[in-house]
A and B are shown apart, each in its own frame.
Chain A
């Protein structure tokens, strides 16, 4: 590169002039997504007809440029670079990903919309036959400075240094943001009509920003990237000696590049890097760019530029106002008069603010002024405004460009399964028990759901769900399927996970397994998910994670939940690829054994948590009986019974759990009513007898409906209490008896009066009568409290 005259960095105008006076290079400083910059760039390239047009973008996307300039191609488009940090090269695994074992998937986006200067440069350069190339460093070079520094895995275009600096802070005046200031200063047909003046103004601004930027702030990666870009520029000069090269970069870089020595960035792409071009949508772009994004505004302005309008932004206001009022009309408001008023208000605001043409802010505020009529239509107006600003454009690439393999594969599979991808909502019914084709279709739909593709209605799916234990009685699956344009964008984002839905689901499953490590319940769910998605290749590793979790998970509750999930699975196992899996059967057996052996440890449960523990024990017994009945898994109930006996006999065990353990023992026939009655009679912690009964009756209410030994024991307990102790126990007693319905309580009351308490002839002694009344009152009140929320 020829040495350039040294320019005082504190003289922005001199620097700008020096840049523009360069006879070898057509420097085109831009702000990303600026229509005015796009108009100037396109015009200058067509005038100068450079030999090469070098553009800020990842240089590993250069080979894809032909697809971007193909006549069939239509923005919005995007260049997407991804890097899956499998080896934790950048030290962010576990920081930007949920777990150190899960690799961060870095992404960077370069949107190419019609109004983007980069896109205009590509088309103009192609038109004049120039060599086209991207010259920025590839994604791995950006990661330490952008993604890691800013703590985010996804990075898109930003104003960055142009907006966040002391110079702009002083310059902004009453402008509310950099975007508003830029639009007022630069975005007008008049400004773009004088490219020299326009470019000078942009360079002066950028040079002033750069001049006031502390040297340390350039550690945002700018220096590395600029050196890389300078290297490309030097290479291009060698290829085109004596001819002009056009360089289209962010203005912040343009003011430094002429004086930057070239050096390729050290960080290179490797097999974990992928760069592709893809068609996008306005809505997807708006989601990517964040709140305030207005793709349709840029498009409307650009259309007006291309049509030769002298006031393209004013033209865009009119066009988008019509769109907005049409949408608002759908909601019941907005007349043509209001549309006229909105345009008029936007023009007035622009004039008031000294804007040569209305900005997107003037447009939005004018629309709100004219259409909003108080709170009742505020939401409708915002919807209309958003629809106008974002738009509904869909990008297109030629077939030769291809799409990421995942996109193609998913579309192909959807068609194979005769799923409607035209956008209508359809109901899909699958007989997964009897039809193999339906099982394959089910697997595809489960994969799509696991990948969180927006192709489902609400609820997405009804059918036997072993993961949650719901709807196991249903014979088939019913899906609500609805294709949306956002599906393609989701698939593009997932493209680096694999070339097919199965591969992508397996990749995601591996991450989920790593996240769920050591959690018996979560890994059980993942086993079920993997099974019904048909992920046979990864199923062994998911099972391995589940096996490990069974061994290491200290949580009794989670192990019971896991057991439940596996037990539910048995109801539908024949439709899953895990059917007959010896390994899974062994896993379940080990889980059951380990869980039952831990039953005595529940004696250490805090009394406040005793009710939860009772429910876990009930669930454990339920799952054990289910597995036992099924027969596919060897279930020996003896450890469970022994565990319950040890729990009941532990003097430190909360009373509720003692009762529950005995009740569960009675439910499996290991404990008789008489034994329970004796345990109650011998229960040393008299004041906790109510809780004992509560636990007992929660788990075995039938025990009180049969013989009279237990009823007698309860009666003796209650009648033997002093009034104060009885009064203190009453809430527990009431709660215990809520296990019964009113008819059962009536029956119990009659038995208390008849079988258990034999009344002497004549008037009963006062104390006995009083106790009888109190017992009857307790039973009545318990009956009254039975109902929703009473338990």
Chain B
């Protein structure tokens, strides 16, 4: 599939997956890789001469627990704040275990059971009556039939009457198709089938999942990257890979700007500066993913409209839009951050912080605040 905006992980890293498949180790039935190889796919390593890139930045033990969980008879539920790479990890695990990460269900308020399980080709249904030919398999049906990982994104946003339809699949590993008779009316899940769900603690927690459904999952809480240096490294890698080969390929995003960008996100997210001063916090998540997005957008902007070099001022403009959105409290928190954190560093003439401070005029009027005269 050339010219795709984004390739799924199993295609993008096909060479790594092929190398990892040569690693020894007992494979659970239906798995393409041994569990240790799946974990290595996510947290990086080396197979012979081929480096396996680190793709998930965070707690390696969390990856191990997630893999171990999927080898059991229970599903895996990844919960955490937005932008903590839950979906990305889910994709990596599915790609590593099943070689396919595209069996995805997206939880929305309008999700229906047939979008999860199966539907019908109504023309065939009318012509032939219910038959396997007329059945249009949904992601869950396909995953169970082929023994693959199914991903359910934002499971708590789905109506719980619909998500509770997963109980039989997770408990008894079977899916009933009442419209079909005999053996065709009962799909038994093949080895390799399991479910990875994600849930966002910000919009809606897991409170609305039924207790019965919760018990079918092992829970793993995904935290934001705690170490600043690691986060800078992650953001650098992500932005580099996004701009590579694209219109912003020639843009320079210096280390000092990366430090500005990531430090800002890190400090506002944790509510404390690196020096230990408490900060106001708005409602913005300030995730690493948003930091990457700001950096990438600034690079694009510099490429199209600038001199192919990202300046601190460019970051501030994008930052305001990403952080504040429509929340005046977040706008206030951002301006407060400039006073409390940026200003002292600018006074101490630290690197690009002076220019960062000088760009504070771009924060005025953001979030509905009146501009100073």
User: A174 contacts which of B60, B73, B79, B221 (Cβ < 8 Å)?
Assistant: B60
Q: List the A side residues contacting B360 at CB < 8 Å.
A: none
Q: List the A side residues contacting B60 at CB < 8 Å.
A: 174
User: A352 contacts which of B64, B206, B215 (Cβ < 8 Å)?
Assistant: B64
Q: List the B side residues contacting A341 at CB < 8 Å.
A: 72-74, 218
Is B35 engaged at the interface, CB distance under 8 Å to the other chain?
yes
**Given that A341-B74, A348-B71, A365-B61 are contacting pairs, would A370 and B218 also be in contact in the complex, using a CB cutoff of 8 Å?**
yes
Within 8 A of A (CB), among B75-96: 79
Q: List the A side residues contacting B201 at CB < 8 Å.
A: 374-375
In the complex, A335→B212 CA distance in Å? 11
**Given that A174-B60, A369-B65, A369-B220 are contacting pairs, would A352 and B72 also be in contact in the complex, using a CB cutoff of 8 Å?**
no
Smallest CB separation, A317 vs chain B (Å): 13
In the complex, A340→B243 CA distance in Å? 47
Contact A352 B79 (CB under 8 A): no
Contact A352 B67 (CB under 8 A): yes
Smallest CB separation, A378 vs chain B (Å): 8
Within 8 A of B (CB), among A319-338: 335, 337-338
Contact B69 A369 (CB under 8 A): yes
Contact A374 B69 (CB under 8 A): no
Smallest CB separation, B26 vs chain A (Å): 7
In the complex, A16→B232 CA distance in Å? 45
Q: List the A side residues contacting B207 at CB < 8 Å.
A: 374, 376
Contact B68 A337 (CB under 8 A): no
Contact A349 B206 (CB under 8 A): no
In the complex, A344→B36 CA distance in Å? 17
In the complex, A348→B67 CA distance in Å? 9
In the complex, A370→B77 CA distance in Å? 11
Contact B215 A338 (CB under 8 A): yes
Contact B219 A374 (CB under 8 A): yes
Contact with B along A329-361 (1 / 0, CB 8 A): 000000101100100110011011110000000
Contact A349 B64 (CB under 8 A): yes
Contact with A along B186-216 (1 / 0, CB 8 A): 0000000000000001000111000000110
Contact A375 B205 (CB under 8 A): yes
Contact B69 A337 (CB under 8 A): no
Smallest CB separation, A66 vs chain B (Å): 46
Contact B26 A369 (CB under 8 A): no
Residue of A nearest to B67 (CB): A352
Is A462 engaged at the interface, CB distance under 8 Å to the other chain?
no
In the complex, A354→B74 CA distance in Å? 22
Q: List the A side residues contacting B71 at CB < 8 Å.
A: 348
In the complex, A345→B69 CA distance in Å? 6
Contact B26 A351 (CB under 8 A): yes
Q: List the A side residues contacting B221 at CB < 8 Å.
A: 372, 374
Residue among A176, A335, A344 with the highest chain B CB neighbour number at 10 A:
A344
Contact B205 A373 (CB under 8 A): no
**Given that A365-B61, A369-B220, A373-B206 are contacting pairs, would A349 and B68 also be in contact in the complex, using a CB cutoff of 8 Å?**
yes
Q: List the B side residues contacting A176 at CB < 8 Å.
A: 61
Contact B219 A369 (CB under 8 A): yes
Q: List the B side residues contacting A337 at CB < 8 Å.
A: 215
In the complex, A349→B206 CA distance in Å? 25
**Given that A337-B215, A369-B219 are contacting pairs, would A348 and B61 also be in contact in the complex, using a CB cutoff of 8 Å?**
no
Q: Is the interface of A mostly helix, strand, loop or mixed?
A: helix
In the complex, A365→B59 CA distance in Å? 13
Smallest CB separation, A724 vs chain B (Å): 32
Residue of B nearest to A354 (CB): B36
Q: List the A side residues contacting B35 at CB < 8 Å.
A: 348, 351-352
In the complex, A365→B35 CA distance in Å? 17
Smallest CB separation, B195 vs chain A (Å): 14
Smallest CB separation, A618 vs chain B (Å): 38
Residue among A352, A366, A376 with the highest chain B CB neighbour number at 10 A:
A352
Is B366 engaged at the interface, CB distance under 8 Å to the other chain?
no
In the complex, A369→B60 CA distance in Å? 15
In the complex, A176→B201 CA distance in Å? 27
Is B39 engaged at the interface, CB distance under 8 Å to the other chain?
yes
Residue of A nearest to B62 (CB): A365
Contact with A along B37-70 (1 / 0, CB 8 A): 0010000000000000000000011001101110
Contact B72 A353 (CB under 8 A): no
Residue of B nearest to A361 (CB): B61
Residue of A nearest to B211 (CB): A373
In the complex, A723→B308 CA distance in Å? 67
In the complex, A354→B25 CA distance in Å? 10
In the complex, A297→B133 CA distance in Å? 57
Residue of A nearest to B217 (CB): A373
Residue among B67, B68, B71 with the highest chain A CB neighbour number at 10 A:
B68
Q: List the B side residues contacting A376 at CB < 8 Å.
A: 207
Smallest CB separation, A359 vs chain B (Å): 12
Residue among A344, A365, A366, A374 with the highest chain B CB neighbour number at 10 A:
A374
In the complex, A383→B12 CA distance in Å? 44
Q: List the A side residues contacting B73 at CB < 8 Å.
A: 341, 344
In the complex, A337→B72 CA distance in Å? 12
Q: List the B side residues contacting A352 at CB < 8 Å.
A: 35-36, 39, 64, 67-68
Q: List the A side residues contacting B67 at CB < 8 Å.
A: 348, 352
Q: List the B side residues contacting A351 at CB < 8 Å.
A: 26, 35, 68
Q: List the A side residues contacting B74 at CB < 8 Å.
A: 341, 370
User: A373 contacts which of B61, B69, B219 (Cβ < 8 Å)?
Assistant: B219
Smallest CB separation, B272 vs chain A (Å): 21
Residue of A nearest to B45 (CB): A174
Contact B206 A345 (CB under 8 A): no
User: A372 contacts which of B26, B39, B219 (Cβ < 8 Å)?
Assistant: B219
Residue of A nearest to B171 (CB): A337
Contact A349 B65 (CB under 8 A): yes
In the complex, A458→B190 CA distance in Å? 59
Q: Which 8 A-B pairs have the closest CB atoms?
A: A348-B68, A374-B206, A369-B218, A349-B68, A373-B214, A352-B35, A372-B219, A344-B72
A-B contacts, 6 listed (Cβ < 8 Å): A174-B60, A341-B218, A351-B68, A352-B64, A373-B214, A373-B219
